[in-house]
Amino acid sequence: MFKPSIHLLNKEIRENNFKGALSIMTFFLFLPALIIMFWLFIKGLPVLSLDFLLQDPIRGMTAGGIFPTIVGTFWLVIISVLVSCPLGVLAALYLSEYAADGRTTRIIRLAILNLAGVPSIVHALFGLGAFVLFLRMGTSILAASFTLAVMNLPVIITSTLESLKAVPHSFREASWNVGASKLQTIRHIVLPNSFPGILTGLVFAVGRSAGETAAILFTGVAFYLPFLPQSVFDQCMSLSMHLFTISTQVVGVPEAYPYATALVLILLILSINSISVLLRSYFRTRRKW
Amino acid sequence: MIKKKFEIKNLTVGYNKKTVIHDLNLDIYQNEVLAIIGPANSGKSSLLRCLNRMTDFNTEVNVSGTVLLDGENIYEDEDSTFLRRRVGMVSPLPVGLPMTIKENVTYAPRMAGCKDQRELDFIMEDCLKKAALWDEVKDRLNGLATKLSGGQQQRLTIARALSHHPEVLCLDEFSIAIDPVTTMKIESVLHELKKSITIVMVTNVISQAKRLGDRTAMMLNGKILDLDQNDKIFGGHTKDSRTKDYIEGLFG
Amino acid sequence: MEMKATETAPLAMEWRQKKSTKPKSERFFEGLIKAGGYSSIVLIGAILFFILKESFPFLVGAFDFKNFFFSTNWNPASVNNVSYGILALIVGTLCVTCLSMLIAVPLGLATAFYISEFCSPRLRETYKILIEFLAAIPSVVWGFVAIMMINPMIIKTFNVPIGLNILNASIILALMSLPLIVSVGEDALRAVPDTYREAAEALGATRWEVATRVLLPAAKNGLLAAALLGVGRALGETMAVLMATGHSIQIPKSFFDPARTLTATIAAELGESPKGGEHYQALFAIGLVLFIISLIVNVTADHLIRGRKK
């Protein structure tokens, strides 16, 4: 009968220890996320109600609800995506369909990478210098949305690029072969078939920008506004900023309020992300090739 | 005198720095079937891609020399989409575009600006019949083309290539991904087609060149070793002994 | 040009005869696409330009290289003793970043190892969803967690007066940069061809040996890049750090001291500094420093990843 030597046994024990240690570590890594979620639910849920969502904050933000912040976040996110989506898709189209793999492409890729890596507070400074002051938008929804759009651009470019590359090259060749131009091929072959991926990436970017705070800090978001924004040139409140304000700047806020605000913010982002996940699986079942 | 459809003069093609076609000269006559044989990497496909300027889409390719189609240099035109309507191409692997069968076959005319539904329907039926596919798909014209079998997709590819009524049809190893029965079907389709158009086919199957070709060219290392009537090439009267060796299966 | 359609076509086929030239609309859209392609370069340039523009008067005026980088005295609002020394802020940033990376890099890379090499596919999917969830938590919520959760925990565990300090911010930053480190690290490991693993296993190597002697060297650059991107993320984080570090501009003496980072300083003071004033310009100069650091970190990480692909 085969009898493992001591050496081999040691090896096996070490191997199991190794695997066990890694799995425990990984588990502990994700534990905080679960705990945080649980804890926000426990503390925030009692306050969370339709009234909380649909009322204005009152008495110096120590009572009432968070309605204007939700409206503000909505404005910011929608306008920023309206700006960054076309630009991001165009940029990805250029990289995947037009650019040769040369020096320029390399520089563009580096620029995208750096754009993604620039700290959000530096984006805020840029937004202040470029949109608020230079383009004279003032501190407004427009300026804040543009700043968010610049931040989102690399995210959208990267995800769009991935979906464009997932369309087989042979489809493009087949289309060119029968006399379709490059642009017709993009319009009739590439875009329709990468649309699901582009949309998924876009929704994901929306979720990301809904939670952003630093980038909109000086460009268009107010601590407190007694009215809802009437146009894109008004300032607005935002959910993320409101959480910052009531948890650090205002005294006398009932303890549950910031919890409930954080919970709403997280749930909002999670539901946007789930839409993205659902879209992905929905389109997967309807794949055409 | 037989009319020359293509005149290729001093054609040199390079990928990056590697030259794949060296100073090649070749005439292709109207309504003939020219078969091009040769081992892998001998430049056959590159030659074919030069005929409808598919090389435009790869920035790493350099093409020099002249290619005349009906006496006009095709590389002088700024826009090459018109050329591709005149010179159709069938790629080695079948490609059903991810749309319906009907949309696949009418894709080329639609892209060229044809909006007349009657005309599109006629083209679709005509081309599918020519490609020997009509009977198999006439009941599911609105089904996805990507759901067809490989052999059907290859015939669809041919139908699509015929839909813009090319004067020249280039086929690049059309039979490598399909079964023998479909291959025979397509071969008989080509037999019909050669009455009206010029066919240039690259093939690895020597018997196919023998069956279908009027003339056969043997390529090796980016040059044409031999080019002659089929009875000469396959009758053992080759100019270069390597052609004979290749045909007899000694290398390649 | 003489054109012949094939005989079998009885229809007019006007479209077939039309010699195409690129229509104007097509040129327009291709121009648009090209412009879009260059937009990222333009934007990076614009960021640099506008930050330089706003900080320019300071850089040519009150800016003193030695004082700016080597003085710990950041006192921009003082009436008679104005000083712009960012050393304490740099040290604060470094402390928080280093400590957080000490936690996050080993943990993140080990997790990447586990997920890419040992997990069953189903467990991997679960973990990936959790990673996405972790990455989706916005920084302001992390800041909130720092204040409400980690803060009392630190006070209780270590018996210190305040829990808003370097340790707190490092824990938060570690958690925040983990998703990035794990996913980039996993990509690096997955990029190692399976033939390497199979060859090593065929020679009788255990998985531990495969991991340490084959995968680690093969994926070295990618793992390094993962760590570096984590550093970049931690350096640039603003809101969470602002909320977690406490407010104290000083060279910290221990991990339980509060500190202030470069990013947090901008976020905290820009709103109060008068537009166009020297203080305001100095904050833009800090932004410039951050911009340059992030540029260096990202270019290096990209270089490492590209080196691996070659």
List pLDDT tens digits, range A158-178: 999 999 999 999 999 999 999
User: What's the domain range around A141?
Assistant: 69-285
Query: pLDDT tens digit string along B212-252?
Result: 889 999 998 888 888 888 888 888 788 888 888 888 887 76
CB distance from A191 to chain B under 8 Å?
Answer: no
Between B98, B107, B144, which is nearest A193 by CB? B98
Between A102, A174, A182, which is nearest B91 by CB? A174
Chain C residues with CB-CB distance to A111 below 8 A: 40-41, 43-44
Give the start-to-end residue ranges of the domains of chain C: 94-265+299-309
**What dotted CATH number matches C94-265+299-309?**
1.10.3720.10
Confidence class for position C7, pLDDT limits 50, 70, 90:
very low
**Which residue of chain C comes nearest to A223, CA vs CA?**
C271
- CA of B1 vs chain A CAs: smallest distance (Å): 31
A170 vs B89: CB contact, 8 Å cut-off? Answer: no
Decide if B103 is inside a domain.
Answer: no
Between A91, A126, A134, which is nearest C40 by CB? A91
pLDDT reading at C215 higher than 50:
yes
On average, the pLDDT of chain B sits at 88
Decide if A50 is inside a domain.
Answer: no
C1 vs B196: CB contact, 8 Å cut-off? Answer: no
Number of C-beta neighbours around residue A82 at 10 A: 11
C298 vs A114: CB contact, 8 Å cut-off? Answer: yes
Distance, in Å, from the CA atom of A275 to the CA atom of A269, rounded to the nearest integer, reads 10
B54 vs A175: CB contact, 8 Å cut-off? Answer: no
Between B119, B126, B164, which is nearest C8 by CB? B126
What is the tally of structural domains in chain B? 1
Chain C residues with CB-CB distance to A247 below 8 A: 143-144, 147-148, 243
Distance, in Å, from the CA atom of C24 to the CA atom of C12, rounded to the nearest integer, reads 26
Distance, in Å, from the CA atom of C229 to the CA atom of C227, rounded to the nearest integer, reads 6
B95 vs A189: CB contact, 8 Å cut-off? Answer: no
Measured CA distances, A103 to A97, A107, A219, B138 (Å) = 16, 6, 35, 50
pTM given for the model: 0.88
Decide if B108 is inside a domain.
Answer: no
Between B82, B123, B165, which is nearest C20 by CB? B82
pLDDT reading at C144 higher than 80:
yes
Query: pLDDT tens digit string along A34-93?
Result: 888 889 899 888 888 887 888 777 777 767 778 889 999 999 999 999 999 999 999 999
Please give the structure tokens belonging to residue C199.
């060859």
Decide if B118 is inside a domain.
Answer: no
B61-69 and B72-73: which strand pairing?
antiparallel
Please give the structure tokens belonging to residue C256.
């339980």
Whichever domain contains A161, its CATH number is 1.10.3720.10
Q: Which of A12-21, A103-112, A262-271, B222-231 has the lowest mean pLDDT?
A: A12-21
C9 vs B114: CB contact, 8 Å cut-off? Answer: no
Whose CA is closest to B84, among B171, B169, B185?
Answer: B169
User: What's the domain range around B202?
Assistant: 4-93+169-247
Residue A5 has a pLDDT of 65
| pLDDT above 70 as % of chain B | 99
Whichever domain contains B213, its CATH number is 3.40.50.300
Between A101, A180, A192, which is nearest B111 by CB? A180
Chain C interface mutation, best of A31, A98, A114, highest count of C Cβ atoms under 10 Å: A114
Decide if B114 is inside a domain.
Answer: no
- Residues 6 or more apart whose Cβ sits within 8 Å of residue A94: A108, C33, C34, C36, C37, C38
C83-84 and C74-75: which strand pairing?
antiparallel
A180 vs B54: CB contact, 8 Å cut-off? Answer: no
- Residues 6 or more apart whose Cβ sits within 8 Å of residue A240: A73, A210, A211, A212, A213, A216, A265, C138, C140
Chain B residues with CB-CB distance to C4 below 8 A: 167
**Which residue of chain B comes nearest to A167, CA vs CA?**
B98
On average, the pLDDT of chain A sits at 87
Distance, in Å, from the CA atom of C70 to the CA atom of C68, rounded to the nearest integer, reads 6
Chain C interface mutation, best of B31, B68, B74, B116, highest count of C Cβ atoms under 10 Å: B116
Confidence class for position C310, pLDDT limits 50, 70, 90:
very low
B82 vs C7: CB contact, 8 Å cut-off? Answer: no
Please give the structure tokens belonging to residue B107.
């894709």
Distance, in Å, from the CA atom of B173 to the CA atom of A197, rounded to the nearest integer, reads 34
Decide if B79 is inside a domain.
Answer: yes
CB distance from B139 to chain C under 8 Å?
Answer: no
How buried is residue C113: exposed, middle or buried, by Cβ count under 10 Å (0-12/13-18/19+)? buried
Chain B residues with CB-CB distance to A183 below 8 A: none
What is the tally of structural domains in chain A? 1
Measured CA distances, C133 to A136, A211, C126 (Å) = 38, 13, 11
Confidence class for position C8, pLDDT limits 50, 70, 90:
very low
B114 vs C4: CB contact, 8 Å cut-off? Answer: no
Whose CA is closest to A203, among A281, A116, A279, A92?
Answer: A279
B112 vs A179: CB contact, 8 Å cut-off? Answer: yes
